[in-house]
Amino acid sequence: MSIFFQDGPLEKDGMAMKSPGISTARRRSGGFSMIELSIVMIIIGLIIAGGVTVYEPSMKQTLKNKNETVVRRAVETLIGFAGAHRALPEGIVNSGVLNSPQDAQMNGLQYAYAAELIQVNTVCHLDETPLSVQVLKADGSVNFTVTDVAFVVWSRGYDGVTKPAKPAGAVGEKTAYPVPLYAENEADDLVGWATMPELKAAAGCGASPLRILASGVPAASVGAVYPEVKLTPDGGKGPYRWCVEFPDQVRASRLRFTAEVPLTPREAFGVCTTPEVQGNTLTMAGQAPFAATDQGGPFDFVVHLQDSNTKAHRVSRRFSLFVIP
């Protein structure tokens, strides 16, 4: 960039006037000095560094939310397929069953299913399957196990690698699928599944299964009180009981969970052995603004729900909270 001055006298009210301080100014050519360039580069570096800090949580949240949506829709579509055909498809990538068989990283979704379920009209006649899902604690031990799983669908995460390893395709022998707590770049696969009661309900030959209705939780903003989010039971038999595990007590302290009475989140994963707080809805809302030091994520928490059947049904759902500027 060059700055030029006018040569010669200036005119004012018909009179000649010299340029202030540059009576014999010459045209300057060239660019910034090294000092000026250094200052500009420092400013640009600070802007970029700040931008990355602000953008990274939002980018992580966007990719994770997209993968959660893709996996959730895949599960819903496969349940619908089983309801219509009373069987499962043999594949999902090239079968046309799913509108979006790829995750946010353009990796194909992985799919495993109980081998017997690809036969027509087996959904209403099959109660047990060799598939199970083991939801793990933070230390890798088993928190709880879901049995009689009809199928499992998962996204392979940012690196395109299934971790921990899980076999895809037809499963005829007893196989447990581990589902670790979500951890960026460590256990970033997002896993969805459906049980036989869910398929039977869709096919019209079974009771409605228990589940937690919620589309997810919105991101929190620094300086703002968190908006109200309602988690609602569906299926099973009321009254219902809740429990929440939220190890990050700093972020948890900015929130309140309420069923019929306030619910205090537990400080570790795997400690909600029996949900105890009764309520037909669990409300999550803010009780204090988030601070600048709260930025980042994901901060995972798990919501447990149990119904009042003689043989109580229990489901758990993991949510991820991000805090953005």
Contacts of 136 (CB under 8 A, 6+ apart): 142, 143, 178, 179, 180, 181
The DSSP secondary-structure symbol of 158 reads T
Verify cis geometry, omega within 30 degrees of 0, for the bond prior to 164: yes
Interior angle at CA 23, CA 21 and CA 24, nearest 5: 125
The verdict on residue 53 lying in a domain is no
222 and 122 share a domain? no
The verdict on residue 18 lying in a domain is no
Q: Answer with the one of 208, 238, 264 that is the final residue of a domain.
A: 208
Could you identify the residue written with the tokens 């899980």? Answer: 166
Could you identify the residue written with the tokens 């990283």? Answer: 105
Query: In whole angstroms, what is the distance from residue 150 CA to residue 206 CA?
Result: 14
Structure tokens at 149: 């799983």
Query: In whole angstroms, what is the distance from residue 226 CA to residue 324 CA?
Result: 12
191 and 216 share a domain? no
The verdict on residue 59 lying in a domain is no
163 and 224 share a domain? no
Nearest partner of 193 among 277, 297, 75, 307, judged by Cα:
75
121 and 180 share a domain? yes
Q: Answer with the one of 208, 237, 271 that is the final residue of a domain.
A: 208
218 and 145 share a domain? no
* Burial (CB count within 10 angstroms: exposed 0-12, middle 13-18, buried 19+), residue 258: middle
Residue 193: the pLDDT is 94
The verdict on residue 319 lying in a domain is yes
176 and 294 share a domain? no
The verdict on residue 36 lying in a domain is no
145 and 226 share a domain? no
Give the residue, 203 or 158, on which the prediction is more confident: 203
Which of 31-45, 88-102, 300-314 bottoms out in mean pLDDT, i.e. has the lowest?
Answer: 31-45
The verdict on residue 275 lying in a domain is yes
The verdict on residue 14 lying in a domain is no
192 and 246 share a domain? no
When divided into structural domains, the chain yields a total of: 2
Structure tokens at 297: 């994520």
198 and 85 share a domain? yes
3-class SS of residue 83? helix
Give pLDDT tens digits for 200-235. 989 988 767 788 998 889 999 999 999 999 999 988
CA atoms within 13 A on the CB side of 55: 6
The verdict on residue 300 lying in a domain is yes
- Read off the pLDDT band of 30 (50, 70, 90): low
Mean pLDDT, rounded, for 131-157: 87
Q: Answer with the one of 148, 173, 208 that is the final residue of a domain.
A: 208
Give pLDDT tens digits for 177-197. 988 766 655 556 888 999 998
Query: In whole angstroms, what is the distance from residue 53 CA to residue 67 CA?
Result: 22
111 and 141 share a domain? yes
Mean pLDDT, rounded, for 113-132: 90
- Calculate the alpha carbon distances from 35 to 5, 31, 32, 39, 41 in Å: 22, 11, 8, 6, 10
110 and 170 share a domain? yes
232 and 200 share a domain? no
Phi and psi, residue 118, nearest 5° = -85, -5
| CATH number of domain containing 316 | 2.60.40.60
Q: What is the mean pLDDT of the chain?
A: 82
Range of the domain at 105: 69-208
Residue 33: the pLDDT is 72
Nearest partner of 306 among 253, 243, 257, 259, judged by Cα:
243
Mean pLDDT, rounded, for 161-182: 85
